[in-house]
Amino acid sequence: MKKIVALVLAVLTIGTVEYAMAQGTAAPASGAAVSSGNTRTPVANRRMRRQRRRIKQGVKSGQLTKDEAKDLKADHKVLRDEIKDAKKDGVVTKDERKQIQKDENAESKKIYDLKHNDQTAK
């Protein structure tokens, strides 16, 4: 009886491993990097769109000068490049997401500060 149970367990284990390998979900070989392939950044993308609209609205209302808007757009390009670089290796890590969010927060504050300073478009 013990031999039958051991045989059944061995078959189930082998079957499970073969199934996982066929599905591409087997554990990586020792020393291999684990990659979930998650390069989606919907939160960052949404914030970028909102910030672009805030800049356009600031120019339209006269709260931002052309030079201020130009500076903000250059910062915006740096943020886009940062997101693109984070995606290059096939996964955006938790630390990369934190850094992107930190930089977006700084950009948001800069937009607010420039829109509420004493300079206005003439």
Widest distance between CA atoms in the chain: 92
36 has pLDDT over 60 = no
Q: Residue 122: pLDDT band by 50, 70, 90 thresholds?
A: low
pLDDT the model gives residue 14: 77
Domain ranges in the chain are 42-115
55-100 pLDDT tens trace = 999 999 999 999 999 999 999 999 999 999 999 999 999 999 999 9
Q: At what angle do helices 94-115 and 42-61 cross, to 10 degrees?
A: 10
Task: List all residues 6 or more positions away from 94 whose beta carbon is below 8 Å from its beta carbon.
Answer: none
Measured on CA atoms in the order 78, 117, 57, 69, is the torsion positive or negative? negative
